Every structure is written in structure tokens, then in C-alpha cells.
Amino acid sequence: MPLTPLDIHNKEFSKGFRGYDEDEVNEFLDQVIKDYEMVIREKKELEERLNEMTERIGHFNSIEETLNKSIIVAQEAAEEVKRNAQKEAKLIIKEAEKNSDRIVNESLSKARKIALEIEELKKQSKVFRTRFKMLIEAQLDLLNSDDWDQLLQYELDSTELQSLKEEDSLA
């Protein structure tokens, strides 16, 4: 069991012949008692501080653990958000690819239809041009024919016209 200041204070030494000076011993013991009491107080204060620090460390360890858990939860949530975003991006890309394929196919179909219509219009324009050319040539042939010259040479007098008119009205 450790020595207490009271034990030091109550300690009595036996007196011997030519022993130590009692006043010096008492003074020294008083000084030892004071120093020992001071050491015990300091020890107690240090133990209290150690307990406080231990509690604070426990508190900080608890906070650290909570923060670590929070970080892990946040990382997991971030990973989940990232995975969901990647899935959504893939779906959007697939949908865009489908739409682009559909648009390209529709455009190709329209382009083919327009090309066919252009070819049909070209054929029709050739037919029209040929017919129009034939019509103009026929009209030129009529204009160039000798029938016009004969018509211009033909003379009718007005009495003949009157008699022809009367014949037509009787008939």
C-alpha cells in the first residue's frame, strides 16, 4: 500500500544516542509531507485530465466513426447515382440510335420515292417534249404546205357566196 502524507506525519523515530536533530528531522518531514501532498494533488489532477482527455478522445473517436460511416454511405450513394446515370445514358443512347435509324430509313425511303418521282417526271417531260415537237412540226408542215397558196389563189365573188348561203338555208 502506498505511503500517505498522514503516514509520514505520524511517523515517529526512536531516539538513540547521538541521533539526528529532532527539529531538522521534523522540518525535513514537513517539507516531504508538503511535497508529497503536492505530488498526490498533481497526480489526481493529471488523472482527472487523463479521464477528461479519454472521454474527449472517445467522443472524437465516435465522431470519427460516424464521419467514416457517413463518408461510406455518401460514396455508396454516389456510386449508385453514377450507376443509375450510366444506365440512363445507355437507355438514352439506345433510344437515340433507334430514332436515328428510323429517321435515316424514313429519309432513304423518301429519297427513293422522290428519285422515282423525278424519273417519272423526266419520262413525262420527254413524252411531252416529243408530242409537243410533233405538234409543232405538224403545224409547221401545215404552214409550209401548198394548201395555203391554193387558198389564197381561190377567189369567190359575193354573188356566189350569196347563192351558196341560200342553198345551205334551203337544205
pLDDT of 1 above 70: no
Q: Which among 54, 55, 74, 77 has a CA at the least distance from the CA of 66?
A: 74
Query: CA-to-CA distance for 167 and 161, rounded, in angstroms?
Result: 10
**Rounded-to-integer distance, Cα 147 and Cα 66, Å:** 118
pTM tops 0.75, yes or no: no
Look over the chain and give the mean of its residue pLDDT values, rounded to a whole number: 87
C-alpha closest to that of 11 among 26, 24, 27, 31: 26
Please give the average per-residue pLDDT across 48-73, as a whole number: 96
Asked if residues 5 and 36 have their Cβ atoms less than 8 Å apart, the reply is yes
> How is residue 97 written as a grid cell?
440510335
Three cell numbers at 58? 472517445
- Which of the 8 DSSP states describes residue 3? -
pLDDT in the model for residue 36? 87
Distance CA 34, CA 5 (A): 8
Percent of the chain residues topping a pLDDT of 70:
91
Reported as a single tens digit per residue, the pLDDT across 129-141 is: 999 999 999 988 8
